[in-house]
Amino acid sequence: MIGIPEQLLRLFIASIVGILIGAERTKRGKSAGVATFSIICITSCFLTLISAYGFKNSTTDPTRLVANIITAIGFVAGGVIFTIGKDNQIKVTGITTGAIIFCVASLGIGIGLGLYWIVFTAILLVELNLIIAMKLKKHYAKQKKYLSLDEEEDYNPDL
């Protein structure tokens, strides 16, 4: 069992990670921002701490709580994906935001387990991938070629 200072540190780190990612999304005018991402990350961390350390003298499977974080986040992430029909064309938006919601929940789980280096590496890789995806989208847009609907949502690292 880890001590109270370490538990509080993990919750604080989860808060900071959620705020940073949420600030980036708010800056780009996305529907899910600072409050959403910080609450998701803190809650995932909190539930992971409960799962990892709160059921030591229980006969229940402590991993069930963490597994249900993923189920709940699937519901939340699905809620930010929209299909907009205009002039008989379908445009899917929110896929990147939904994926980032899932990622932030996973980061919260990692922080709750104390896997700081894995979390830090994941943050860097996700940010790198978002930057590369935006550059590719701009490149193809210049050539009048478009990426698949999976890449439909805008991500602009220059804002």
**Domain range summary for the chain, segments of one domain joined by +:** 4-151
pLDDT at position 145: 53
Q: Where does residue 94 fall: left (phi above 0), alpha (psi -120 to 50 degrees), or beta otherwise?
A: left
Is the pLDDT assigned to residue 154 strictly greater than 60? no
Average of pLDDT values for 5-9?
Answer: 95
Average of pLDDT values for 53-60?
Answer: 80
User: What is the three-state SS of 105-140?
Assistant: HHHHHHHHCCCHHHHHHHHHHHHHHHHHHHHHHHHH
- Which two tokens mark 147? 């990426």
| Dist CA 129 CA 103 (whole Å) | 13
Torsion sign (Cα): 19, 25, 29, 32: negative
The pTM (predicted TM-score) of the whole model is 0.79
pLDDT at position 155: 45
| Dist CA 62 CA 50 (whole Å) | 8
The overall average pLDDT reported for the chain is: 83
pLDDT at position 77: 87
Is the pLDDT assigned to residue 119 strictly greater than 50? yes
pLDDT at position 48: 93
Q: What is the pLDDT of residues 57-115, one digit of tens each?
A: 777 787 888 889 999 998 888 888 877 777 767 777 888 889 999 999 999 999 999 99
Is the pLDDT assigned to residue 147 strictly greater than 80? no
Average of pLDDT values for 7-13?
Answer: 95
pLDDT at position 121: 95
pLDDT at position 152: 45
pLDDT at position 93: 82
What is the percent of the chain with per-residue pLDDT over 70, rounded to a whole number?
Answer: 89
Backbone angles phi, psi at 113, to 5 degrees: -85, -5
Per the model's pLDDT, the better-predicted residue between 144 and 57 turns out to be 57
Average of pLDDT values for 11-25?
Answer: 91
| Dist CA 42 CA 25 (whole Å) | 17
**Cβ count within 10 A of residue 85:** 8
Q: Is 93 helix (H, G, I), strand (E, B) or coil?
A: strand
